[in-house]
Amino acid sequence: MIFIHDLISRREIQVTSMDSIFLNPAPGSISIHAPVADFSGSHSYNVWLGPDLLDYVEGFLTGDSPSVAALVFLVYDILLTVNEECLGRGDMAVGLHEAPSSLFIILFRRPWSIMKVCYYFVRYMPMLFQIPLLFVGSELSAQFHFTTQACFMWQIYQGVASMLTNVAVDYILISRVHAFYLHSRSIRWIVNISYVLEICAMCVGLGLALPGIQFDSICIVDNIPDILVVYFAGVILFQTLLFVLTAFKFIRSLRSGWGQVPIIALLMRDGTWAFFILLAFLVCNPSLYQSTNHSFAGLLYTWLLSIYSYCQWNQRYIPGTTRHDLELGDTEYSITLPALRYSSSFQPVRGALENPMQRSVFTPSHCSNALDSTRMSPKHVLQVSPGLKSRHLAAACS
């Protein structure tokens, strides 16, 4: 009864007689007959709701709530990192000397690059994308009197926002694979070509699906063409490829005794949980599009944007280290691991494995103390080589 009163007050349901209720926005206008005692005052009455009307009411009432929840979740997560951003500007200013090691601290001090732009884009743009969407397909939409063309433009906006976020996220993920397979030109070519194919699949899926999307007077989606599955299939297949390549390299690193190296463990640990969370949302989102009740089609759209930002930005901690451990200053370094060399340009560096013990050695806890070669272990060794900047950490740990 509360739902019916609420919808009537917003003119989503109009009472045309004392014994019937018509639902205007839905195509075909569903008619529900019910005995009504009185619509004035506080009299009680009974209204029978059919399954179609119930589905629409549920979709209408839940359409804007997930959007608000997703935005609040992302804003809260961003606020949690404000302190780190201050630390990135200089921890001495706030009197802190020990803080969790964060990729942001290194990334903030590096010159602007495509990688840095992608990180900031993935972190903050999903939040900005979601703010205008609070006025589309929600309780506030009726006040704007959207036309059919306006609703179509909003669908294009959502599609482009989702695609740009995917492209930025995948670019960051590609940098990991490039770092792992630095000496394998064929793998890097396969990844790059797959990246282009993924972008093509997203463009084709959106281009063919957008003209066929149907919506009501307040831009709630009523029907979505099946061809949109091509968009999600391209994203899922490409991210699965990157995850498999990363997992394969991690397994080989374990066999070589480098599985406990903080960077190696970080890449696999955070990459695994992020992959499966994103995979769950990517699979559930098109599943809702194919549901019989299309009012739930956009239920997870804003959540997908928030999860992209959350997962990519929170893959930045190296367990067991502090900010001091990763603070490399202006000195140029590189990390040498078996068959693994990180550099800022992703180009093979000769001599990576030639007499590595002749280079200076730093430990995570005491970077100024050199260790004797007899006490070295894969968990504590960072090989230092002039000529390469610490930007490799931003590429490898991203």
Contact between residue 243 and residue 185 where contact means Cβ atoms under 8 Å apart: no
Q: CB neighbours (10 Å) of residue 304?
A: 19
User: Does residue 358 lie in a domain region?
Assistant: no
Q: Is the pTM of this model over 0.85?
A: no
pLDDT at 357: 38
pLDDT at 378: 41
Based on the fold, state whether residues 142 and 285 are members of the same structural domain: yes
Based on the fold, state whether residues 260 and 205 are members of the same structural domain: yes
pLDDT at 298: 66
> What's the mean per-residue pLDDT of the chain?
65
Last residue of a domain, one of 293, 315, 337: 315
Based on the fold, state whether residues 67 and 28 are members of the same structural domain: no
Based on the fold, state whether residues 67 and 15 are members of the same structural domain: no
Q: Band of the pLDDT at 285, cuts 50, 70, 90?
A: confident
Higher pLDDT, 349 or 106: 106
Q: Which CATH number does the domain housing residue 279 bear?
A: 1.20.1070
Based on the fold, state whether residues 17 and 73 are members of the same structural domain: no
pLDDT at 197: 96
Assess whether pLDDT exceeds 90 at residue 38. no
Based on the fold, state whether residues 293 and 209 are members of the same structural domain: yes
User: Does residue 321 lie in a domain region?
Assistant: no
Based on the fold, state whether residues 44 and 132 are members of the same structural domain: no
Last residue of a domain, one of 257, 291, 315: 315
Assess whether pLDDT exceeds 50 at residue 85. yes
Based on the fold, state whether residues 43 and 150 are members of the same structural domain: no
Higher pLDDT, 56 or 127: 127
Based on the fold, state whether residues 308 and 196 are members of the same structural domain: yes
Q: Number of folded domains in the chain?
A: 2
User: Does residue 378 lie in a domain region?
Assistant: no
User: Does residue 241 lie in a domain region?
Assistant: yes
Assess whether pLDDT exceeds 90 at residue 203. yes
Assess whether pLDDT exceeds 70 at residue 368. no
Assess whether pLDDT exceeds 90 at residue 288. no
User: Does residue 201 lie in a domain region?
Assistant: yes
Based on the fold, state whether residues 76 and 188 are members of the same structural domain: yes
Token pair 């993920």 in the structure block, residue: 173
Higher pLDDT, 123 or 374: 123
User: Does residue 28 lie in a domain region?
Assistant: yes
Last residue of a domain, one of 286, 315, 344: 315
User: Does residue 210 lie in a domain region?
Assistant: yes
Q: Band of the pLDDT at 266, cuts 50, 70, 90?
A: low
Tell me what percent of the residues of the chain surpass a pLDDT of 70: 49
pLDDT at 337: 39
Based on the fold, state whether residues 45 and 137 are members of the same structural domain: no
* Residue 8 belongs to domain spanning: 2-49
Based on the fold, state whether residues 128 and 188 are members of the same structural domain: yes
User: Does residue 333 lie in a domain region?
Assistant: no
pLDDT digits (tens, 9 = 90+) for 208-247: 998 888 877 777 777 788 888 899 999 999 999 998 998 8
Q: What does the alpha-carbon distance between residue 218 and residue 121 come to, in Å, rounded to a whole number?
A: 29
pLDDT digits (tens, 9 = 90+) for 310-363: 887 665 543 334 334 433 333 333 333 333 333 333 343 333 333 333 333 333
pLDDT at 207: 92
